[in-house]
Structure 1
Amino acid sequence: MDDSTNSLPNSPGEPSNRISHDGFDLLSKDIVDPVLAAKMHLVNNAIDEIGFTPYHARLFCLNGFGYAVDSLITLLQSIISGQAILEFQPSYSTGLTIAAYVGMLTGALFWGLSADIIGRRFAFNVSLFISSIFTIIAGASPNWVVLGLFVCLSAFGAGGNLVLDTAVFLEYLPSRHQWLITLMAAWWGLGQLIAGLFAWAFIPNYSCADAASCTRENNQGWRYVWYTSGAFVFVLSILRVTVIRLQETPKYLVTEGNDDRVVCVLRGIAEKHHRPCTLTLNQLQDLGTTVRPNCGPKNKRLALSELNFHLHGLYSTRRIGISTTLIWFSWLLIGLAYPLYNVFLPIYLKSRGASFGQTSLISPGETMP
């Protein structure tokens, strides 16, 4: 669908099924469901008419915090792994990295696919809460395997939260402000800054110096980092429910055929922030009914046919299929490069004799408290 539509809704007296748009839609010739496409254009026009509001500003901040959580969790396991290795003496020192990325992958797949079935709102709120709970629990891990398990589960929530942050924000954004999706990347750096500050506060003062003398009692620093980070993420998950009070996104409601709720959500935002919204229920209903083939009744919506329906849409035409493949391939390369640079490059350089300087947590001549 074309999210770049800049025109306003139909004026009074114009046919309700008229769709006006200024931009050029690259996939305009690949429309599979003309009724759904027409309704999406009307919703885009209504969102543009409302414009950018304080509601969108809150979404940018709290969705951005969720974006930062993904970065925080990814870096956190790397920061604390050195001290955890001294305490647990594992046979495979990069196990936490593997656990984190397995969790990210499964979380993105699970929440990304299920959000089209159970709705954006539930997945958006629950995924960050799950991440916070397992981040806190990770600090109490008794051994390396359990730590890896909870890192994986924490990343499972964070990975799903990452894809929903941008999706939910984009589905509410007016077309002229969709550049803010790019600005969301700034929150990634903030997440790494917060992780670094937590580590700086605890690890130097509450960590053992070598494996021979390292015990749980004198190596609490990395655990404090997990506890603090988990509490921070938990607060963010609560703020999402209490500050934003997110309603289901209008574009998801359109695909579900809930035209009345679409109008209710958009007009609710417009009225609260004193903005115009001329979209009516009759305009949407006059376009027809959205058909969702191969889908069972509501109480069977988690059936395999529902999932197949959504996956099939990604390859419904040749051009859409090429677009889907190229996007996935781009993210595949990014996902490959990130752990190679952060994890395996230092190991490779060290195996070739590279010196990384002072690795001790304390300066020469100082003693641990």
Structure 2
Amino acid sequence: MNILKTLALSTALTLGATAAMPDAHTEDPLKVGFIYVGPIGDYGWSYQHDQGRLAIEEEFGDAVETSYLESVPEGDSERAIRRMAQEGHDLIFTTSFGYMTPTLRVAQQFPDVKFEHATGYQRADNVSTYSGRFYEGRVVQGYLAGEMTESNVVGYIASFPIPEVIRGINAAYLAASEVNPDVEFKIIWVSTWFDPGKEADAANALIEQGADVILQHTDSTAAMTIAEATWEGLEEGERGIYAFGQASDMLEFGPNARLTSIIDDWAPYYIERVQAVMDGEWESADAWHGIDEGMTAIGALNENIPEEIRAEAEAIIEAVRSGERHAFTGPINWQNGEQWLAEGETADDGTLLGMNRYVEGIEGTIPQ
């Protein structure tokens, strides 16, 4: 009898303990980390990447846990990337060109962690690369700049002399000069991705040099804010400086000045790659998406643009989307007059990814 009581008590305790234990099938959330070169409040590059992070949270809910480090200098990024790997992140997105080598170094030390590097070109078994074909958006911007300038001087604030930036300058110039042979590009290299003070100084310097339209490949809203300020107190029929949103729409910072924007939409790609990890189907790959795939989007056209120019801009967007128009279709020469592309010839991706010189018609030199 005592033995039976003991067995019954033991069984009851065992059942109670089992009931109190958590579900053995409950999985820990996938840990996804992001490294940003600027602050998430830059309303440009880093802001848009963080919108992608938030989209992951909305899509997957408690199945994911995301975190980020912002304003991480490219020269000090290896430590930040390693810290995320050590903290148990399963997937890490490193979102600036200068993070390429540090990402590869850390990835070699953490083979079970998956890495995604934005705008880079070097991969490994656990490192993918991804970027947008931003130069497609520069075709639209260049066309509008060439049509909308009255001074025939277009200013360009450039960050670093990497192929992505040089490619954008060339694409914009070719589109502008096609509709306005008298157009001149003045380029200021600021050697930073995000520095509102430097970007503002560059915008003011370009305006002093006669630019009445400004493009940028930097991340703050400084140039847009300065362009918008020139519209204050104008009399009827007068116009201020025009500018373009970079990475995000920036419309709220330049309702009069902003002609359109290149908008980086990372959310679909981020959701796709997180899902691939969850499904056990993630593989190292290169992704380079443009207007057609939606990673490079074009903001609404400003109502200040004359109707016929707006219509042509819309037609250009659709032609680029369909593949009917390519930013780099010959005849095109390099700056020194050497032929690059013959009549009707289109540039291959390898040349675009390594672009390191200006096309014919652009003055000045690329910093080394």
TM range (shorter): under 0.3
Structure showing the higher strand proportion among its residues: 2
Greater length-normalized contact order (CA 8 Å, ≥ 6 residues apart): 1
Structure showing the higher helix proportion among its residues: 1
TM-score of the superposed pair, with normalisation by structure 2: 0.24
